[in-house]
Chains A and B, each alone.
Chain A
């Protein structure tokens, strides 16, 4: 019996040691990753003082009820009078957002947005551990300031095409280069970017995301369009396949 007890104790200590060791190795690994990329300690989304709405204990919409989500004053792609609205809370440096952009977005655009059935609204949810994402979001807004919603989406497409989406997948010095390629006024663009003119806009999207229970990226809300821009949206989380979007949109179009 004492022998069994001592074996049990050794096993328990060993298990505890493995758990603690796993956690420490994980922490060190992350630290090394960030140091290699020249970034400081990753900040958490909740640390952002402008995201003043605390993450809810039970996220809205997680009981299956549609969530009221506004398109706010964010850029619209497609017919403004389209029957269905798709709101995309996204992050330019999130690999799953890029996967959605590469694999699903072109088909969605061709079948539903370009045909006037669906309008897409891109809202920013730059996670703070994706170092370059907030500035990229601001840059897209600066492009919109000069060329409207159409220019916003041209810029949006360029970011997603060029970034490797790993937090610093697109060097910040490439942002004016994209602007130049798209024919924007570089002086105005740079001034807009440097002054942080659209930081508050990006932060508002972050706060709104927390309110509607979008805690990760990409998070989509799909619902019938309304005159005030607020939809009762079904929440879809993650880089889901085209078939998931098609099924929901077709149902909403009935």
Chain B
């Protein structure tokens, strides 16, 4: 396992990405109001107050479990993206970044992002009502997102970028 992943170097981007993810998700839940507020001809004071109200609304407009899963998904998304970018940079420095590596990493970023989107993506598509068809009213998507992100995180941590071949002593 690459120990460098636990360095403080990854902390800041993880926090920034996680916060952005959380913010976007919360605002997407009230997409109509957010769009109207950001692009309407209102004062900055009004815009600021609405955005702050919607952010503070995450405590009142979600279940405890829903909020917990959202925070976990945000942190995992932040970690995944930070790790992927870090891995890309390392490969670049080692001149090991080929099209395939870069391509799959980008797919990984998109994949992890999409897997984590869950309800916000449905909301974006205007399909949030369809979540009612699921047994847990859409909570499945949150569980699914966290699961996929955990897998993604596990494989990222597991992957080694050292420039050496390992010998399997058992053989």
Q: Which residues of A contact B (CB under 8 A)?
A: 11, 15, 18-19, 22-23, 26-27, 29-31, 44-46, 55-59, 61-67, 95-96, 99, 103, 127, 129, 213, 215-216, 234-241, 243-244, 247-248, 251
Contact = CB atoms under 8 A, between A and B. Distances in A.
A22 B141 CA distance: 10
A122 B53 CA distance: 23
B46 A251 contact: yes
B33 interface: yes
Interface-central residue, A27, A44, A241, by most chain B CB under 10 Å: A241
Interface-central residue, B42, B54, B63, B151, by most chain A CB under 10 Å: B54
B143 A22 contact: yes
A217 to B, nearest CB: 11
18 contacts: A18-B147, A22-B140, A22-B147, A26-B136, A44-B132, A56-B126, A62-B31, A64-B34, A99-B60, A103-B60, A215-B132, A234-B36, A237-B29, A237-B32, A238-B29, A238-B57, A241-B60, A247-B46
A233 to B, nearest CB: 10
Given A55-B129, A239-B61, A244-B53, 12 more contacts: A23-B140, A58-B126, A61-B32, A66-B36, A96-B61, A103-B60, A235-B32, A237-B61, A240-B57, A240-B60, A243-B53, A251-B46
A129 B46 CA distance: 37
A22 B148 CA distance: 12
Contacts, number: 124
Contacts of A129: 132, 137
B56 A243 contact: yes
Nearest to A55: B129
Task: Give the 8 A-B CB pairs with smallest separation, nearest first.
Answer: A64-B35, A238-B61, A215-B129, A244-B53, A58-B126, A64-B36, A30-B135, A240-B57
B57 A244 contact: yes
Interface string B130-171: 101111110110011001100100000000000000000000
Contact of B136 (A30, A55, A62, A216): A30
Interface of B: 29-36, 39-40, 42, 46, 49-50, 52-54, 56-57, 60-63, 125-130, 132-137, 139-140, 143-144, 147-148, 151
Nearest to B48: A247
Contacts of A236: 30, 33
Contacts of A66: 36
A240 B36 contact: no
Interface-central residue, A64, A95, A213, by most chain B CB under 10 Å: A64
Interface-central residue, B42, B62, B132, B140, by most chain A CB under 10 Å: B132
Given A237-B29, A244-B53, A59 B39 contact: no
A89 to B, nearest CB: 13
B46 A26 contact: no
A147 B63 CA distance: 36
Nearest to A236: B33
B151 A240 contact: no
A27 B130 CA distance: 16
Nearest to A215: B129
A247 B129 contact: no
Contact of B33 (A99, A213, A234): A234
Contacts of A243: 49, 52-53, 56
A59 B126 contact: yes
A235 B33 contact: yes
A55 B130 CA distance: 9
B33 A127 contact: no
A14 to B, nearest CB: 9
A169 B117 CA distance: 32
A57 B53 contact: no
A26 B139 CA distance: 9
A183 to B, nearest CB: 34
Contact of B53 (A19, A45, A62, A247): A247
A45 B136 contact: no
